[in-house]
Amino acid sequence: MSKKPLILVTNDDGITAPGILALIEVMEALGDVVVVAPDSPQSGMGHAITLNNTLHLEKVSKKSEKTLKYSCSGTPADCVKIAVNEILDRRPDLCVSGINHGSNSSINVIYSGTMSAAIEAGIESIPAIGFSNSNHSWDTNFEASKKYVKKIAENALKNGIAEGVVLNVNIPDLKEKDIKGIKVCRQARANWKEKFDKRKTPQGKDYYWLTGEFVNYDKGTDTDEYALANGYISVVPVQFDLTAHHYMQHLNTWQFED
């Protein structure tokens, strides 16, 4: 049995995306890698799982490749579930998701398929990190990201990640020489001001395109949005226990009895 760490790699942009190819390259230098990723883009899927359809899994790695690669017809969360239960013969030492084409900072963590895959691994008690680059382009150059992805993953393997915590890492779209470093941050208070672009089909039927503007209401200097805007990589520890513990005492003052 290999003594190298076992690293599960996944994403939401699909198994052929340049971002996941860059992530695989970095992880192959750190351990034994198995890839299970969607067979098509699944951006914005959040933590959706497949319940009413069958899942298909196909081995796509070539005999010459040392890394096992599987494409899955499901969501990013499905990919982690099926990897853990059907493919891997031992629990991974680390799960990494990405590198996403586009930022998943602030409120975007809620919608992100990239982060949902990492969170699904965290639910399985697997140390997990989601990596995203601020550039949405398919042709994004990930060379500047690789050095920092490796550094963060090495630290995770060495130090571990606390139970119930997953790391959300966002990398500004800069050349390596222009990245100032890494900052541990909190999630900025921001959201999308959304609107729908209403159009008509040639047959006269209405249809809609979701559009919107990202608005950052948070002026703090300790947030992920501030770090990214100022040339730093942001690392936000997120948790999947959504309980608002600070509000429980107040909620217990409500009168529930007649």
The pLDDT tens digits of the residues spanning 22-40 come to: 999 999 999 999 999 999 8
pLDDT at res. 1: 54
The tens digit of pLDDT for each residue in 68-87 reads 999 999 999 999 999 999 99
For residue 258, name the pLDDT band (cuts at 50, 70, 90).
confident
Is a pLDDT exceeding 80 seen at residue 101?
yes
**Nearest one of 96, 72, 76 to 86, comparing CA atoms:** 72
How far apart are the C-alpha atoms of 156 and 150, rounded to whole Å?
A: 10
Residue 188 carries which DSSP code?
P
pLDDT at res. 246: 95
> Do residues 96 and 150 make contact, with C-beta atoms less than 8 angstroms apart?
no
Distances (CA, A) of 130 to 10, 15, 23, 180, 218: 9, 15, 11, 20, 23
Over its C-alpha atoms, the chain yields an Rg (Å, rounded) of: 19
Mean pLDDT within 53-75:
92
Q: State residue 62 phi and psi, 5-degree precision.
A: -85, 160
- Find tokens 């890394």 and name the residue: 67
Average confidence score pLDDT of the chain: 93
> Do residues 95 and 7 make contact, with C-beta atoms less than 8 angstroms apart?
yes
Q: Where are the beta strands (DSSP E) in the chain?
A: 6-10, 32-38, 57-59, 68-72, 94-101, 128-133, 165-171, 181-184, 190-200, 206-216, 232-239
- What is the set of domains in the chain, with CATH numbers? 6-188+221-251 (3.40.1210.10)
Q: Is the pTM value of this prediction over 0.75?
A: yes
> Do residues 95 and 131 make contact, with C-beta atoms less than 8 angstroms apart?
no
Report the 10 Å Cβ neighbour count for 221: 10
For residue 43, name the pLDDT band (cuts at 50, 70, 90).
confident
Percentage of the chain modeled with pLDDT above 70: 99
